[in-house]
Homo-oligomer: A and B are copies of this chain.
């Protein structure tokens, strides 16, 4: 075991520049970068031999990796991480591109699902990578209106509307006949006391409280049905994940290998794992893109991938997450600018269509 060399901030200016250039070049070409390439294509002012010495040290310090003895160097997770955190210039979208994005966004209608689907499509299209989108959480939505609809003597349809639109319909089958007037009274009572609360708050106690003073009292089986309906509407564990643009993976040379491709597609199919990783990527309240590189994902078989994620909002509530999953060798600056712009557009649209 060689003595561990210092890591971290002590990269002198030249080493930093060399690392930057290698990451840049490798992202562009997908080929390991050699010392000669660097001196030829970039103005370094020193010979390739000097670069070789520097590269050897960068490798010893863990920023670079050599695929095999007679190849150039490739950035390691640490190399990319340093690049992303400290070396990379901040990019923003060309105004033309950001205009186009905004216009295409406007094409989606006013339905939440449609808007989120459009976001997925656009994100994958513009990023040329796999887009992963966690659909709006239900329990963070604000309850707006309840309607109990009489279907038959022992059959009631409960429709719960949040400010994001209809969240839930649920058939209740009470043990006694109910009549429409009774249902109207119950609906009104619930609307009066619960309107404006988060779905997450509408538990058994809240519903029972709201209905406590109804005269004549509702039958317990109907109340239970309403409670079950809210519980079902809330269920935070089952959130849909949308995907788009899997075919772009085929364009990356790193996925010209069926095993790697397979592990990504399996991940997509499984959903659960990816769901957790995407949520993990978002620190509470952070509204800048979070980046996880290669091994940082802590997923087997996808150490060749990176994930860029950012939350989106409706009003001031964070509802879900956008993410880009792609080769570790991705243009991080562009991806971060793109996903931030997409999240902005999405949040803006969702906020616009929120019910009063």
> Bound complex: CA of A109 vs CA of B250, how far in Å?
36
A265 partner residues in chain B, CB cutoff 8 A: 246-247, 250
> Bound complex: CA of A270 vs CA of B171, how far in Å?
36
Say how far A279's CB is from chain B's closest CB, in angstroms: 21
Which of B155, B165, B245 is in CB contact (< 8 Å) with A356? B155
Say how far A192's CB is from chain B's closest CB, in angstroms: 13
A269 near B256: Cβ-Cβ < 8 Å = no
Question: A289 in the interface, Cβ–Cβ < 8 Å?
Answer: no
B256 near A244: Cβ-Cβ < 8 Å = no
Chain A interface extent, by class: 20 to 34
> Bound complex: CA of A265 vs CA of B250, how far in Å?
9
B250 near A171: Cβ-Cβ < 8 Å = no
> Bound complex: CA of A151 vs CA of B166, how far in Å?
14
CB within 8 Å for A145 and B149 given contacts A161-B157, A166-B159, A262-B250:
yes
A246 partner residues in chain B, CB cutoff 8 A: 246, 265, 268-269
A88 partner residues in chain B, CB cutoff 8 A: none
Question: A3 in the interface, Cβ–Cβ < 8 Å?
Answer: no
Q: Which residue of B lies closest to A247 (CB)?
A: B265
Question: A152 in the interface, Cβ–Cβ < 8 Å?
Answer: yes
A269 near B250: Cβ-Cβ < 8 Å = no
Interface string of A141-185 (1 = CB under 8 A from B): 000110101011001010101000110010100000000000000
Interface of A toward B, CB cutoff 8 Å: 109-111, 144-145, 147, 149, 151-152, 155, 157, 159, 161, 165-166, 169, 171, 232, 244-247, 250, 256, 258, 261-262, 265-266, 268-269, 353, 355-356
Closest 5 A-B residue pairs measured CB to CB?
A: A247-B265, A166-B169, A152-B356, A250-B262, A165-B169
